[in-house]
Amino acid sequence: MATDFFERQDAARRNTTRLVVLFVLAVLAIMVSIHAVLAFALGYLGSGETGGMDVSLLRDPGIFVLAFVGTLVVVGGGSLFKVAQLSGGGRVVAEQLDGRLLSPDTADPAERQLMNVVEEMAIAGGTTAPPVYLMEEEGINAFAAGFSPGEAVIGVTRGAARQLSRDELQGVIAHEFSHILNGDMRLNIRLIGLLHGILIIGMLGYFVLRMTAFSGHRVRRSRDQGNAMLPLLAIGAGLMVVGFFGTFFGNLIKAAVSRQREYLADAAAVQFTRQPEGIAGALKKIGGVAAGSTIQNPNAPEASHMFFGRATSGLSAMFSTHPPLGERIRRIDPSWDGTFPEVAAGAPPAKARPDAAAGFAPGASTASGRETSAAMYALDHVGQPTGAHIQYAARLLESLSDRIRVAAHEPYGARALVYTLLLDRDAALRQKQLQHLERAADPGVFEETLRLVPVVAQLEIKARLPVVEIALPALRLLTTEQYRLFKQNVALLVEADADIDLFEWSLQRILLHDLEAHHGSVKPPRVRHRSLGRLQPQCEVLLSMLAYAGHRDAQGASTAFDAARQALGLPQARLRGTGEVDLSALDAALSDLEEAAPQIKRRALEAAVACIAADREIMATEAELLRAISASLGVPMPPLLGV
């Protein structure tokens, strides 16, 4: 198999390290250049007394310290300011590009189709559905932005939403999901911050030059005063030149990093959809529409490397963040004759094929009929969903009743949907839960909950968590106070019977992992653990919990744990007693494992799959538990086919 998700995550971190090294080298070069500029300017200033240029200033430690500190303050401060400005993640980038957040319950046909395609890809990829922003641009383009998959957003131009067919739109969204799943987004945002710091040097030089020239007009009453301005003019011009070359090489770095990632994302989109004609058709339409993929927003140049197509015009091929359009098309469609289709501005998209609900050609690869193989198949395709996974997602969405789909796409209905899923089967406990909701929930939400009870009762078990994930974009629209009340109500419903079952825990874990990050209550995790041995206690808690969850008898739990221990590669790990593990201990263990290196997460998930598959049977609740665990670790595991 090609490079997997976990290796790509490690590679993304290595690329970030390389980027930082290149940035440091660029800053050092800028320091040396500024030192030379200052020494020249100050040497010229003193030339009137010495009768010549004072070259000894090049060795003056005071000037070197001034250049060193000044560069650090300006470049470092500019970069930190920009990164802090973008700390809100993808949402901030989308808003700077004038994106409008699409309502999950939009009635516009093109917008509704876009939301459906994003939901399909999210379910297939094992991630929560990201917020979608629409840019009022005629060009065909899209982008993904954010620091992590959990807080990523997708932006799409109106030109793409209206002029691309469903298959073409699916290819574009698959391309953007590749960036989400492969860890490209964090690097993209850091590129913006680092290059902004270098750009500040040139802006400072321009400011000094303008101010000096303006002051010079006012003090040109004597020759001495005019000569006094020349060093400042030299400093301003020198800083502009240094800033220009710094930005020049910075853009070269950005272009080199981005081009290869675009090829990889194109290839991943073909792998995801099994339809090369989809993404190839979108690229051809970019060449055929008058606006191309151009973005008119003034903030587009600094975010140019994030877009699906080339967002700016007038740059040489050397600085382009995207490979030539024709080359991208030929890599996907070698038979292309080089002609672009004529696309009228604002033309409606072509209608999807009759089988577009599935979205893929018959015969897409599928997993083995055995449930054990399904679990391993999902793990092997973490971050790389196949056509079979997206077909599964499309059919699952198609199977949902209109009532549930409508409820999941607006904040009142989304809250009611979650409440309904948490209602207990026991009549007395359910009545107690409903009485609490009648007192604590918003009246409209409580009434919607009552209406959804008979509809949700017909929902398939395998659709429960996907429905929650579809509802997350609507739940993200809650105000801080609404979310606080919603969170309290969820906790009370879960704890109503004083016995939290695995589905309740899985639902609550997925909800809180997403919404807490969205509301800023938790920060994206950093890698703190690189040794599996140091995480043995946490792995013991996780695997013991899984062993007991799938087996009521001690022998079955012991056998399952032995299989997990072998897969984990820690022979000294022990099955903990039932009194040592509970859901709070599992929460703590997952919090530590979330801060582990990618390859350690992989080992932990392989052991988890071995544990639940030890008896050659995977129950729906075990599949839900595995989904919640993978989400907690920040690992996008596709659905288990056939379970």
Catalytic residues: 176
Distance from first CA to last CA of the chain, Å, rounded? Answer: 24
Q: 375 with 612: CB under 8 angstroms?
A: yes
DSSP 596: B
Distance CA 406, CA 413 (A): 7
Distance CA 186, CA 188 (A): 5
Measured CA to CA in angstroms, residue 38 lies from 32, 47, 197, 233 at distances of: 10, 14, 20, 11
**3-class state of residue 470 by DSSP:** helix
Distance CA 231, CA 42 (A): 7
| Burial bucket for residue 38 (CB in 10 Å: 0-12, 13-18, 19+) | buried
Distance CA 133, CA 156 (A): 6
Stretch (H or E) spanning 135: strand 132-135
Q: 349 with 169: CB under 8 angstroms?
A: yes
Q: 638 with 385: CB under 8 angstroms?
A: yes
Distance CA 585, CA 589 (A): 6
Q: 630 with 636: CB under 8 angstroms?
A: yes
Name, in order, each residue with C-beta under 8 angstroms of 568's C-beta and a sequence gap of 6 or more.
532, 539, 543, 603, 604, 606, 607
**How many helices (H) and strands (E) are present in the chain, helices listed first?**
26, 4
Angle subtended by helix axes 480-494 and 411-421, to nearest 10? 10
Tokens of 587: 């929460």
Nearest Cα neighbor of 35 from 54, 60, 7 is 60
Distance CA 215, CA 41 (A): 18
Three-state secondary structure of 79-103: HHHHHHHCCCCHHHHHHHCCEEECC
Tell me phi and psi for residue 132, to 5 degrees. Answer: -115, 130
